[in-house]
């Protein structure tokens, strides 16, 4: 599709409301001032360092194969330390690689809703990450989308490509400075997992109560490809709606989504994951844990669509209610379009059982400590498929986020 | 160590324990027999201070402290421990985590000493990494409870049916380790620990030497005596008959 045609379709979808989530007036948000580029991630002002750390980003760049930082609407840092790995802003990548247009809006329709349309019409960068064929970049790449100014509308388009038999591990942190009262993050992410390749994507959202967030993500997985997403959200925000979709198009393609969401305050979250199992023997697993407290409202969706022979999908979503004014709405869906399929789901929403608290108190914990141990346990999803160091680190990030809310 | 005086307990508005008096001294192990529903478990839960067990009358002192108004964890800190008959499963909390909690440790890593203890109970590393009580067999529940108690090392230990739903081999193992936990291998004057064991079948009594046995009926202690005698009587004649014989004896004296 030509760029002209994409723009035309985007223009027509400019006012098209999203199927889910509250409608946001995009025009209330601005591009803001340009920020100066940095020579190293460590040059970021001290007041922001904690924000980065809280979203899993290492300002020292230690144990990272590459680092990318976009502040508001400016790409202020991008560097790569590993051969076979490419990392730069999408804007730059389009200048460098003519072929990249073949990946543009191939996983997500540009006119899906007004948010995708706006990212096409008014894009402010985003990151491009690519691992060359056969290159296994086990050290993670980190990318951070950071908002530091009030009323900013950050509209990124990310493209990630793992070429054949390559491996890519990404930590992405989305964060906001405490000085921001209200801002908008629109993030389109298109992932392409080629034959025999693997991408793990660990995303930590570290937002604040004034943030409106509309990620739009999709993954196309070819033969024997693997995509693993780990999503962690522990901070309050105004509203978030996302429903990333993995298309397992290849034979034995595999997708895993694991999401951990803790919603305090007046947070409104409508999140989910969808897997479309088209390839023969393709597999998907969707695991989510959602905790709602105070007056938070969570809709936890999951959807597995079986279209390929011998495809296998499983959904496991659990919700925990910590307050009577909170709400959890769990909606697991399975669709079978063939007979040779194995699709299953388990969903549960409940409160903390008294007898669990008493049991822990009988081992010496106070009621408060016992509650915290149970919540920790509830959110404790074994992260699989990550290199050992990254798994350890993700666990640490998770513990840290939990420490902050408990 | 534990003094219970004229204790009356209600659970959900229903009186379960009625005017019960029981003293357990340091170094002593008592056994409590009784049919289902007689109030044995209620007694243990009340000693432990679980919130659904409302004390209407009487008192409990532990190591000289009146514990009636203390929450469970404070009682545990004073040196009380409990092996549950039907402990709840807790998702994402591993047996290893429970052991660390029982030991009062904050670390995630499990103490080497505990791993040694676990080995003696035939508990593997894999088992320590399983969610506590989730899918555990009868024998596994008992061994997990005992491991937690070993880590906690309380001065006064309550066991709720350590022999129910456990095969013979496991009963022997459990009995041996309980004996050790309760200082049974030491000379009587050297024994510092005390215990209260509930048993329905009495099969654990083959492996633990107790100092005193009681039969509980309808919320009160109906008969007390030497463990051998009481066990034999209960086994041969059943609970009601045993109590009858006890009171007959009383009558002729």
What mean pLDDT is predicted for residues A104-117?
97
Query: Mean pLDDT, chain B, as a whole number?
Result: 88
B77 Cβ under 8 Å from any chain A Cβ: yes
Percentage of chain A with pLDDT > 70?
Answer: 99
Q: Given the DSSP bridges, would you call strands A311-321 and A283-292 parallel, antiparallel or unpaired? A: parallel
What mean pLDDT is predicted for residues B169-181?
87
Nearest to B50 among A358, A364, A379 (CB): A358
CA B39 to CA B46: how far, in whole Å? 10
Between these two residues, B170 and B72, which has the higher pLDDT value?
Answer: B72
Nearest C-alpha in A relative to B148: A363
What confidence score (pLDDT) does residue B248 get? 63
CA A77 to CA A195: how far, in whole Å? 31
Q: What is the 3-state secondary structure (H, E, C) of B150-200?
A: HHHCCCEEEEECCCCCCCHHHHHHHHHHHHHHCCCCCCHHHCCCEEEEECC
B76/A356 CB distance under 8 A:
no
Tens of pLDDT, residue by residue over B182-227, are: 888 888 888 899 999 998 777 888 888 899 999 998 898 988 888 8
What confidence score (pLDDT) does residue B229 get? 84
Closest CA to A379 of A355, A346, A401, A358: A401
From chain A, the residues in CB contact with B104 under 8 A are: 364
Helix or strand holding residue A184 (H, E): strand A183-193
pLDDT at A250 over 60: yes
Closest CA to B155 of B46, B29, B33: B29
Q: Pseudo-torsion of CA A7, A11, A13, A17, nearest 10°?
A: 130
Q: What is the DSSP letter of B103?
A: H
pLDDT at B250 over 70: no
To the nearest whole angstrom, how far is the Cα of B78 from the nearest Cα of chain A?
Answer: 10
pLDDT at B252 over 60: no
CB B121 within 8 A of CB B177: yes
B91/A377 CB distance under 8 A:
yes
pLDDT at B245 over 80: no
From chain B, the residues in CB contact with A376 under 8 A are: 92-93
Query: Mean pLDDT, chain A, as a whole number?
Result: 94
To the nearest whole angstrom, how far is the Cα of A283 from the nearest Cα of chain B?
Answer: 25
What confidence score (pLDDT) does residue B251 get? 43
Closest CA to A235 of A400, A396, A392: A400
Helix or strand holding residue A119 (H, E): helix A114-121
B70 Cβ under 8 Å from any chain A Cβ: no
To the nearest whole angstrom, how far is the Cα of A89 from the nearest Cα of chain B?
Answer: 39
B90/A356 CB distance under 8 A:
yes
- The rounded Cα A364 to chain-centroid distance in angstroms is 38
B92/A353 CB distance under 8 A:
no
Q: Given the DSSP bridges, would you call strands B14-24 and B29-33 parallel, antiparallel or unpaired? A: unpaired
CA A206 to CA A201: how far, in whole Å? 16
A364/B102 CB distance under 8 A:
yes
CB B217 within 8 A of CB B240: yes
What confidence score (pLDDT) does residue A1 get? 65
What mean pLDDT is predicted for residues A183-212?
96
Mutate to test the interface with B, among A317, A364, A395, A406 (most CBs of B within 10 A): A364
What mean pLDDT is predicted for residues A168-184?
94
CB B153 within 8 A of CB B195: no
Tens of pLDDT, residue by residue over A359-395, are: 999 999 999 999 999 998 998 877 777 777 788 878 8
B36 is written with which tokens?
Answer: 């289902």
B165 Cβ under 8 Å from any chain A Cβ: no
Buried b / exposed e across A273-297, counting CB within 10 Å, b at 16+? bbbbbbbbbbbbbbbbbbbbbebbb
Nearest C-alpha in A relative to B74: A364
Residue B253 — pLDDT band, cuts 50, 70, 90? very low
To the nearest whole angstrom, how far is the Cα of B220 from the nearest Cα of chain A?
Answer: 25
B78 Cβ under 8 Å from any chain A Cβ: no
Residue A102 — pLDDT band, cuts 50, 70, 90? very high
CA B105 to CA B123: how far, in whole Å? 20
A364/B84 CB distance under 8 A:
no
From chain A, the residues in CB contact with B101 under 8 A are: 360, 363-365, 373
CB B231 within 8 A of CB B224: no
CA A254 to CA A198: how far, in whole Å? 9
From chain B, the residues in CB contact with A374 under 8 A are: 90, 93
Q: Given the DSSP bridges, would you call strands B220-225 and B212-217 parallel, antiparallel or unpaired? A: antiparallel
A376/B84 CB distance under 8 A:
no
From chain A, the residues in CB contact with B48 under 8 A are: 362
A164 is written with which tokens?
Answer: 């054949």
What confidence score (pLDDT) does residue B120 get? 86
Compute CA distances A224 → A164, A194, A195, A255, A279, whole Å. 10, 8, 6, 10, 10
pLDDT at A325 over 90: yes
How many CB atoms neighbour CB A55 within 10 A? 26
Residue A14 — pLDDT band, cuts 50, 70, 90? very high
Domains within chain B, CATH numbers bracketed: 2-87+155-252 (3.40.50.300)
To the nearest whole angstrom, how far is the Cα of B101 from the nearest Cα of chain A?
Answer: 7
What confidence score (pLDDT) does residue A167 get? 96
A257 is written with which tokens?
Answer: 């989504």
Tens of pLDDT, residue by residue over B144-165, are: 999 999 999 999 999 998 888 8
What mean pLDDT is predicted for residues A216-230?
97
């Amino acid at each position: 599709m030509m760029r002209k045609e994409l723009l035309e379709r985007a223009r027509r979808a400019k006012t098209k409301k999203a199927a889910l989530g509250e409608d946001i007036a995009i025009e209330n948000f601005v591009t803001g001032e340009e920020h100066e580029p940095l020579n190293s991630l460590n040059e970021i002002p001290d007041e922001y360092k904690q924000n980065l750390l809280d979203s899993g980003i290492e300002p020292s760049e230690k144990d990272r194969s590459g680092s990318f930082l976009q502040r508001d609407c400016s790409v202020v840092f991008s560097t790569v330390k590993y051969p076979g790995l490419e990392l730069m802003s999408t804007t730059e990548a389009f200048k460098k690689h003519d072929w990249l247009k073949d990946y543009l809006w191939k996983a997500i329709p540009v006119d899906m809703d007004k948010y995708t349309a706006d990212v096409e019409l008014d894009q402010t960068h985003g990151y491009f990450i690519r691992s060359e064929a056969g290159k296994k970049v086990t050290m993670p790449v980190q990318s951070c989308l950071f908002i530091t100014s009030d009323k900013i509308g950050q509209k990124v388009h990310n493209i990630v490509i793992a070429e054949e038999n390559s491996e890519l591990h990404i930590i992405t942190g989305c964060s906001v400075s405490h000085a921001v009262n209200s801002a908008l993050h629109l993030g389109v992410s298109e992932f392409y997992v080629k034959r025999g390749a693997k991408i793990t994507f660990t995303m930590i959202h570290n937002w604040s109560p004034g943030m409106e967030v509309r990620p739009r993500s999709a993954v196309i997985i070819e033969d024997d490809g693997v995509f693993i997403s780990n999503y962690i959200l522990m901070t309050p925000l105004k509203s978030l709606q996302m429903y990333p979709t993995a298309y397992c198009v290849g034979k034995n393609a595999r997708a895993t989504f694991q999401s951990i969401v803790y919603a305090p305050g007046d947070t409104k979250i409508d999140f989910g994951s969808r897997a479309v199992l088209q390839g023969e023997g393709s597999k998907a697993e969707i695991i989510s844990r959602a905790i709602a407290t105070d007056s938070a409202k969570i809709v936890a969706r999951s959807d597995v669509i079986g279209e390929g022979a011998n495809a296998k999908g499983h959904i496991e979503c659990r919700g925990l209610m910590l307050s009577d004014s909170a709400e959890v709405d769990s909606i697991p869906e399975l669709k079978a379009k063939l007979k040779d399929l194995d699709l299953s789901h388990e969903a549960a929403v409940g409160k903390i059982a008294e007898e669990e608290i008493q049991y822990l108190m009988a081992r010496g914990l106070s009621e408060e400590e016992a509650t915290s141990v149970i919540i920790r346990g509830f959110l404790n999803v074994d992260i699989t498929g990550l290199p050992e160091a990254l798994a350890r680190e993700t666990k640490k990030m998770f513990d840290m986020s939990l420490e902050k809310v408990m | 160590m534990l003094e219970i005086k004229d204790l009356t307990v209600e659970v959900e508005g229903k009186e379960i324990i009625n005017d019960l008096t029981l003293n357990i001294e340091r170094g002593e192990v008592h056994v409590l027999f009784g049919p289902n529903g007689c109030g044995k478990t209620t007694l243990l839960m009340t000693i432990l201070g679980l919130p659904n067990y409302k004390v209407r009358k009487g008192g409990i002192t532990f190591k000289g402290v009146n514990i009636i108004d203390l929450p469970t964890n404070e009682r545990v800190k004073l040196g009380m421990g409990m092996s549950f008959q039907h402990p709840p499963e807790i998702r994402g909390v591993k047996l290893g985590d429970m052991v660390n909690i029982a030991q009062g440790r904050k670390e995630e890593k499990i103490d080497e000493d505990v791993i040694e203890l676990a080995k003696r109970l035939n508990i593997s590393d894999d088992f320590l990494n399983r969610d506590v009580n989730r899918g555990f067999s009868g024998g596994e529940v008992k061994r997990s409870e005992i491991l937690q108690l070993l880590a906690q090392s309380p001065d006064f230990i309550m066991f709720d049916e350590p022999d129910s739903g456990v095969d013979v081999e496991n009963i022997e193992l459990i009995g041996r380790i309980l004996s050790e936990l309760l200082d049974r291998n030491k000379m009587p004057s050297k024994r510092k620990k005390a215990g209260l064991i509930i048993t329905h079948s009495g099969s654990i009594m083959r492996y633990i030497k107790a100092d005193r046995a009681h039969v509980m009926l309808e919320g009160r202690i109906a008969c007390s005596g030497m463990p051998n005698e009481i066990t034999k009587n209960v086994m041969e004649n059943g609970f009601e008959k045993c109590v009858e014989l006890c009171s007959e004896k009383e009558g002729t004296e």
